[in-house]
């Protein structure tokens, strides 16, 4: 094992990009700024295929070490949070890549939700993280180390409360208003202005020419924006998303036996930035999980991964090591 005066790498790998940071692993380094931060393409093989994902992983590691002006010999460990590694075959594939890229370096691999939790708990795996971005997931650990999750099924199978479902509901509100099936809503102007359209009918070609989840999810902030401005339809959409997300967290808490404990709920993902949705969620949790505390991470998930790497290194260190 290398000495603790060296560095660790923390990596957050999503479906569209990967962030990798280098952090000193010496005692007392927990609050220091990263020595280097690099952004590359996706390391999720389910999103970009195995060859591209592996190449991006190797690129992230090499560029981060170069940016930090450190060598592989100075690397104590690497911790990765990568979306889509819950299945045994995916986990084994990434571990094999790491064995090839960084032989003899301890590597710790988690789902990306886990490192998002660690970013809000300073590397402690206790509490529940709720992520709402393009997709959504709630994942938690109790004090016994048991883990449970809810959501993360993808758009088709029911990631209610995700950016995709909010964006899709926003589009439906616009089309229903255009038909006269639903009430008028300020979402119509917001969506058309954002997409540089003049008529709701133009949405048809835009929606069906490219059936990617991300494009729909990018409209979700408009619902938050118009809800805060008082639009009734936007408020209905956001309140439903809040309920769906809260139910996921409450299910995880119940299955972990944490309903009557004080624990952190870490809010992560672009959809849970301060705003109408986050405010609605906090109000709900104040009633359903009154002992829980809401945490908005000041550090990004890649830092959470680095803190987990440091924790693993320290746990493995001999009792009298520095």
Helix or strand (DSSP H, E) at 100: helix 88-101
Contacts of 166-169 with CB under 8 Å at 24 or more apart are 166/217, 166/219, 166/220, 166/223, 166/224, 166/237, 166/238, 166/241, 166/271, 166/277, 167/216, 167/217, 167/218, 167/219, 167/220, 167/223, 168/216, 169/223, 169/237, 169/240, 169/241
The reply to whether 163-291 shares the fold of 7-110+299-316 is yes
Cα gap 203→273, rounded to integer Å: 27
Residue 68 exposed, middle or buried by CB count within 10 Å (0-12, 13-18, 19+)? buried
Helix or strand (DSSP H, E) at 139: strand 136-141
Cα gap 130→258, rounded to integer Å: 15
Cα gap 152→136, rounded to integer Å: 6
CA distances from 265 to 240, 249, 257 (A): 19, 8, 15
For the chain, the structural domain boundaries read 7-110+299-316, 163-291
Which CATH fold topology does 7-110+299-316 show? Nucleotidyltransferase; domain 5 (3.30.420)
Partner residues linked to 108 by β-bridges: 79
Residue 155 per-residue DSSP state = T
Query: Is residue 8 within 8 Å of residue 25, measured between CB atoms?
Result: yes
At 1 the pLDDT is 43
At 322 the pLDDT is 34
Name the CATH superfamily, with its identifier, for domain 163-291.
ATPase, nucleotide binding domain (3.30.420.40)
Cα gap 311→181, rounded to integer Å: 56
At 37 the pLDDT is 96
Cα gap 177→260, rounded to integer Å: 44
- pLDDT tens-digit profile, the chain (322 residues): 444 358 999 999 987 789 999 999 876 655 568 999 999 998 988 778 899 999 999 999 999 999 999 999 999 999 999 987 877 888 899 999 999 999 999 999 998 899 999 999 999 999 999 999 888 999 999 999 999 999 988 888 889 999 999 999 999 999 999 999 999 999 999 999 999 999 999 999 999 998 888 899 999 999 999 999 999 999 999 999 999 999 999 999 999 999 999 999 999 988 999 999 999 999 999 999 999 999 999 899 999 999 999 999 888 754 433 3
CA distances from 192 to 102, 169, 197 (A): 49, 15, 5
Q: Which of 151, 154, 155 is nearest to 128 (CA)?
A: 151
At 4 the pLDDT is 39
Residue 190 per-residue DSSP state = H
Go through the chain and tell me how many residues it has: 322
Helix/strand/coil for 266: strand
């Amino acid at each position: 094992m290398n000495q603790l005066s060296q560095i660790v790498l923390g990596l957050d790998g999503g479906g569209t990009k990967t962030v990798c940071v280098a952090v000193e692993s010496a005692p007392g380094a927990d609050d220091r700024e990263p020595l280097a931060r690099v952004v590359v393409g996706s390391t999720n093989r389910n999103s970009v295929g195995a060859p591209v994902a592996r190449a991006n992983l190797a690129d992230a590691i090499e560029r981060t070490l170069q940016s930090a002006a450190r060598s592989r010999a100075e690397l104590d460990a690497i911790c990765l949070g990568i979306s889509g590694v819950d299945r045994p075959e995916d986990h084994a594939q990434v571990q094999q890549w790491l064995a090839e890229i960084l032989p003899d370096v301890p590597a710790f691999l988690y789902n990306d939700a886990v490192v998002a939790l660690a970013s809000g708990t300073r590397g402690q795996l206790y509490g529940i993280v709720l992520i709402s971005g393009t997709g959504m997931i709630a994942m938690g650990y109790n004090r016994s180390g048991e883990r449970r999750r809810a959501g993360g099924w993808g758009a088709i199978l029911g990631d209610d409360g995700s950016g995709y479902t909010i964006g899709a509901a926003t589009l439906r509100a616009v089309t229903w208003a255009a038909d006269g099936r639903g009430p008028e809503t300020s979402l119509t102007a917001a969506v058309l202005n954002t997409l540089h359209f003049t008529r709701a009918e133009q949405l048809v070609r835009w929606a069906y020419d490219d059936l990617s989840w991300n494009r729909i999810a990018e409209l979700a902030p408009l619902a938050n924006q118009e809800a805060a401005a008082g639009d009734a339809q936007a408020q209905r959409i956001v309140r439903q998303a809040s309920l769906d997300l809260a139910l996921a967290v409450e299910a995880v808490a119940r299955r972990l036996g944490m309903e009557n404990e004080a624990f952190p709920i870490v809010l992560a993902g672009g959809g849970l930035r301060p705003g109408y949705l986050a405010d609605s969620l906090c109000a709900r949790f104040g009633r359903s999980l009154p002992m829980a505390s809401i945490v908005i991470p000041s550090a990004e998930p890649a830092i959470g991964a680095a803190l987990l790497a440091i924790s693993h290194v320290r746990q493995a260190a001999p009792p009298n090591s520095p």
